[in-house]
Structure 1
């Protein structure tokens, strides 16, 4: 078992909590190399699985839109 895998298993309570990694190539490698009991997500999959497909859609969520996204909404870009 890799030392990073041991660390992530401890931090995730043996795979109970998902792990978010914002670098997709790293996620791909981690999924291939590490045990299957870790829930490792890249940003897109995490948003899809935990926000878009959430059972709790009725709960109001606050999202921070970077300045660029705010400009896009206003049509300034």
Structure 2
């Protein structure tokens, strides 16, 4: 029973990310060496449906971490830690 609960929890958390959109947004804004880090429960507003954490190199070469926030009927926002 514990395994089923754990599997369900992991699937639910994975459903809260939109990795293809986050990757597309970061790449189109000039970020490189992108590593998506999964769901970030505290990085976005309550009106965002998806919160995908990331680590990347910014266009000016700095290493940054943050989250890409997005929704079903809206664009995406890059927020930094």
Q: TM-score range by the shorter chain?
A: under 0.3
Q: Which has the higher helix share?
A: 1
Q: TM-score, normalised by structure 2?
A: 0.22
Structure showing greater Rg: 1
Q: TM-score, normalised by structure 1?
A: 0.23
